[in-house]
Amino acid sequence: MSEATREQVLEVAGRARQAAAELAPLPRRAKDAALNAIADALITRAPEILKANESDVARAREGGTAEAMIDRLSLTEQRVAAIAEAVRQVAALPDPVGESVRGYTLPNGLELRQVRVPLGVVGIIYEGRPNVTVDAAALTLKSGNAVLLRGSSSAYDSNTALVDVMRDALAGTQLPADSVQLVPGTSRQSVKHLMRARGLVDVLIPRGGAALINSVVEESTVPVIETGVGNCAVYVDASADVDLAVDILINAKTQRPSVCNAAETVLVHADIAEAFLPVALRALRDENVTVHGDARVRSYGDDVVPATEEDYSTEYLSLDIAAAVVDSLEEAVAHIRRYGSGHTEAIVTTSQGAAKRFVALVDSAAVMVNASTRFTDGEEFGFGAEIGISTQKLHARGPMGLPELTSTKYVVTGEGHLRGV
């Protein structure tokens, strides 16, 4: 763990601020050229990236890191090629900057336009995979922002190599190299300095587990966009088609259990419990899912383990699911309000009225009607890419694409207009 002083972190943030000012007015062409230069450089310099990654992997192995984590950390030539390709895809997306969000002429003749502008300096605090280093940089640059990257210390050598490659690539373009910087230091202390860099950093986006996100939310004076924690529920309405409900539940729970849009809870209307639960429990068993159920759920399966309060609040991210029988749609909504994280909830129903009520009453970033919770995702939503999934209500909610990395500015044009009252 290497320390960094407050001055060192603020100096880097100050350079990012300066870079952001230069970057903001650049046209799309300049940003796309820079992204393509980064993609080229990642391919050309893959050997040194892989070498740096090997040292992270070796350190992780020595430290006894689990193989699943080591797989997330590891880069290969193919993975680097995929990272470069993702950068090219971001370059191909439309530029959100300059888009008119509203525009009209006021009664007094003033012309008003609200246009998208970059946020400025975006700080990303993340764990896990080194590909996030490049993905996050590509999205922030494309939206005209400078980025400060603070990855996991376990990927420090990989991240350093990746950022070096990106900065060198930028040096041959119109974009300032300081548009992409690693936050110095690998200790908790350097994150704290970043979180207090109000005035230099415009927004922090923590990506990772609940502990990381809570600590940023608690301590940051820089505005934060919360991402990622997903305690998602599937509600099987009285009127549901049983087969369709089972398919959606299995897909939502098992198609990729380790991600935030996987289902963690199933709520079953009492009127359909007898038709649905035996089939559903068998299907879950076939997929090796452990069901944590209330008394009514347990009456349908001997292998259902008793659910605690804790179970209903837990984001398992594993082959576990909490289950309960509810007497009404409203009771399902109340359960979600009490235990959910406001990420994604799904209703399976054939009733138009029930769908409408569920959509109106559930207060989550995404509400699925007869579709798997797994669809809450920037690419699936057609955004081309995402920087994360916001579970807060301010600024952005749900998957965040390029427009969510912008702010707006009002441009008002007159001919000597003066205010009378």
SS3 9: helix
Q: Which long-range contacts (CB under 8 A, 24 or more apart) does 298-307 make?
A: 300/273, 300/274, 301/277
Residue 122 neighbours by CB under 8 Å, 6+ apart: 140, 145, 146, 147, 148, 201, 202, 203, 204, 205, 405
Minimum distance between the CB of residue 370 and a second copy, rounded to whole angstroms? 5
Residue 287 binds a second copy, judged by CB under 8 A: no
Residue 241 binds a second copy, judged by CB under 8 A: yes
Nearer to a second copy, 54 or 241 (CB): 241
For a second copy, which residue of 133, 397, 400, 402 counts as binding (CB under 8 A)? 397
Q: Tell me how far apart the alpha carbons of residues 220 and 146 are, in angstroms, rounded to a whole number.
A: 19
Residue 21 binds a second copy, judged by CB under 8 A: yes
Residues from 128 through 157 that contact a second copy (CB under 8 A): none
Residue 395 binds a second copy, judged by CB under 8 A: yes
Residues from 290 through 319 that contact a second copy (CB under 8 A): none
Residue 134, exposed/middle/buried by CB under 10 A (0-12, 13-18, 19+)?
buried
Q: Tell me how far apart the alpha carbons of residues 309 and 125 are, in angstroms, rounded to a whole number.
A: 31
For a second copy, which residue of 137, 213, 365, 400 counts as binding (CB under 8 A)? 365
Nearer to a second copy, 152 or 220 (CB): 220
Contacting range for a second copy; rule: CB under 8 A; set: 1-9, 60-68, 86-94, 213-221: 213-221
Residue 110 binds a second copy, judged by CB under 8 A: yes
Nearer to a second copy, 59 or 196 (CB): 196
Residue 374 binds a second copy, judged by CB under 8 A: yes
DSSP at 386: -
Residue with tokens 């054939």: 350
Nearer to a second copy, 23 or 37 (CB): 23
Contacting range for a second copy; rule: CB under 8 A; set: 5-13, 37-45, 51-59, 103-111: 103-111
Q: Tell me how far apart the alpha carbons of residues 370 and 349 are, in angstroms, rounded to a whole number.
A: 7
Q: How many chain residues interact with a second copy (CB under 8 A)?
A: 68
DSSP string, 191-223: HHHHHT-BTTB-EEEEES-HHHHHHHHHH-SS-
Residue 360 binds a second copy, judged by CB under 8 A: yes
Minimum distance between the CB of residue 114 and a second copy, rounded to whole angstroms? 8
Residue 367 binds a second copy, judged by CB under 8 A: yes
SS3 307: coil
Residue 375 binds a second copy, judged by CB under 8 A: yes
Q: Tell me how far apart the alpha carbons of residues 325 and 277 are, in angstroms, rounded to a whole number.
A: 10
- Count the neighbouring beta carbons within 10 Å of the beta carbon of residue 218: 9
Residue 24 binds a second copy, judged by CB under 8 A: yes
Contact 42, 80 (CB under 8 A): yes
Site string for a second copy, 112-131 (x = CB under 8 A): x-x--x-xx-----------
Residues from 316 through 335 that contact a second copy (CB under 8 A): none
Residue 106 binds a second copy, judged by CB under 8 A: yes
Nearer to a second copy, 328 or 407 (CB): 407
Beta-strand ranges (E) seen in 109-262 are: 111-118, 121-126, 146-150, 180-182, 203-207, 232-236
Contact 262, 374 (CB under 8 A): yes
Q: Under the rule (CB under 8 A), what is the footprint of a second copy?
A: 21, 24-25, 104, 106-107, 110, 112, 114, 117, 119-120, 198, 202-203, 217-218, 221, 223-225, 241, 244, 247-248, 251, 255, 337, 355, 359-361, 363-372, 374-376, 380-382, 392-395, 397-399, 407-419
